[in-house]
Amino acid sequence: MTVKTTHCCGRDDQIGKVFFAVGRDVRQCLVCGELFDRKAAADHAEVDCYPLLELSVVYPSTGEQH
Per the rule left: phi > 0, alpha: psi between -120 and 50, beta: everything else, 51 is: beta
d(CA 12, CA 22) in angstroms, rounded, equals: 22
How much is the pLDDT for 35? 95
How much is the pLDDT for 50? 87
Domain that residue 4 falls in: 1-66
Give the count of domains, the chain: 1
Long-range pairs, 48-56, Cβ under 8 A, ≥24? 49/17, 55/30
How much is the pLDDT for 6? 45
How much is the pLDDT for 11? 62
How much is the pLDDT for 51? 82
Per-residue pLDDT of the chain (66 residues; tens, 9 = 90+): 444 444 456 666 667 788 999 888 999 999 998 999 999 999 999 999 988 766 566 666 655 555
d(CA 1, CA 58) in angstroms, rounded, equals: 26
